[in-house]
Amino acid sequence: MYACTCTSVQVWENAMSATRNRRDPGARRREITQAAAALLVEGGDFTHRRVAERAGVPLGSTTYYFADLDELRAAGLGLLADGLDEAVAEMRRQTLEADGDPEVLASLLYDYLNDTDQLRADAALQGAALQRPELRHLERRWSDNVVELLSTWTTPSNARLLAAFMDGVGIHALLHDEPLDRPTLTNAITALMRLPAAGEEKK
The 8-class DSSP code of residue 200 comes to -
Distance, first Cα to last Cα, the chain: 22
Rounded to 5°, angle at Cα 32 from 129 and 28: 140
| 152 burial level (CB within 10 Å; 0-12, 13-18, 19+) | middle
Structure confidence by residue, pLDDT tens digits, 13-40? 545 544 444 557 789 999 999 999 999 9
Distance CA 144, CA 158 (A): 13
| Percent residues over pLDDT 90 in the chain | 62
Structure confidence by residue, pLDDT tens digits, 57-72? 999 999 999 999 999 9
Q: Is the pLDDT reported for residue 184 higher than 80?
A: yes
CATH class, domain 9-194, is mainly alpha
Nearest Cα to Cα of residue 83 among 172, 164, 2: 2
Distance CA 149, CA 96 (A): 9
Band of residue 174 on the pLDDT scale cut at 50, 70, 90: very high
When the pLDDT of each residue in the chain is averaged and rounded to a whole number, the result is 86
Contact between 87 and 2 under an 8 Å Cβ cutoff? The reply is yes
The residue-averaged pLDDT of 139-158 equals: 92
| Rounded CA Rg of the chain | 19
Nearest Cα to Cα of residue 162 among 181, 149, 178: 149
